[in-house]
């Protein structure tokens, strides 16, 4: 049995050069393992080209309802990257608030998912692109899976 003042662990009693070598080995091993894992991650990030036909969506995460949009000009041409916004008050006494926004794809389409089934005042969607604007209203308790086509018009100067 060793006296109390002595170190009883083999690792600690090794000379300092051995401790340094072990630490360097562990760091090199960790760097090697990280290098093995990293290439798939880098390949996934190297090809971020989105499909222009996929429908962009945003999930509110507060209910089962959806709202699908097609945003067009008054001549029925789809508008790319029109922004659609909605302000949602939900919960008891409308205590919770959520602002959502999504842009349209090349076909002028966008989708909101996870919208609440019950709201006190319904949902008022506002769409815009440059000086073009339009809006739509939905009462999710009546139409939980709503579909809208909004023809954006010139904003009138005052």
Give SS3 for 46.
helix
- 50-106 tens-digit pLDDT: 676 789 999 999 899 999 999 999 999 999 999 999 999 877 776 788 899 999 999
Q: What pLDDT score does 28 carry? A: 85
Distances, alpha carbon 138 to alpha carbons 5, 19, 112, in Å: 79, 69, 12
Q: What pLDDT score does 85 carry? A: 97
Q: Are 65 and 142 in contact (CB under 8 A)?
A: no
CATH for 57-154, options being 2.60.40.1120, 1.10.10.10, 2.60.40.3880, 3.30.470.10: 2.60.40.1120
Sign of the C-alpha dihedral computed for residues 18, 19, 20 and 24 taken in this order: positive
* Helix/strand/coil percentages in the chain, nearest 5: 25, 35, 40
Distances, alpha carbon 94 to alpha carbons 89, 91, 112, 116, 147, in Å: 5, 5, 20, 12, 25
Kindly indicate the confidence band of residue 145, based on its pLDDT and cuts at 50, 70 and 90. Answer: very high
H/E element, 90:
strand 83-90
* Domain layout of the chain by residue ranges: 10-46, 57-154
Give SS3 for 146.
strand
* Tokens 């899976």 belong to residue: 145
């Amino acid at each position: 049995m060793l006296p109390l003042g002595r170190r009883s662990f083999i690792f600690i009693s090794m000379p300092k050069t051995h401790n340094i070598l072990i630490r360097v080995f562990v760091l090199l091993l960790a760097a090697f393992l990280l290098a093995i894992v990293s290439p798939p991650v880098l390949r996934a990030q190297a090809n971020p080209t989105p499909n222009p036909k996929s429908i962009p969506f945003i999930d509110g995460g507060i209910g089962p309802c959806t709202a699908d949009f097609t945003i067009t000009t008054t001549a029925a041409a789809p508008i790319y990257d029109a922004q659609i916004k909605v302000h949602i008050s939900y919960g008891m006494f409308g205590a919770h608030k959520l602002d959502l926004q999504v842009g349209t794809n090349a076909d002028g389409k966008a989708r909101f998912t996870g919208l609440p089934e019950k709201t006190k005042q319904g949902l008022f969607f506002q769409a815009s692109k440059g000086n073009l604007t339009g809006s739509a209203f939905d009462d999710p308790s009546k139409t939980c899976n709503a579909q809208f086509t909004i023809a954006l018009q010139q904003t009138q100067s005052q």
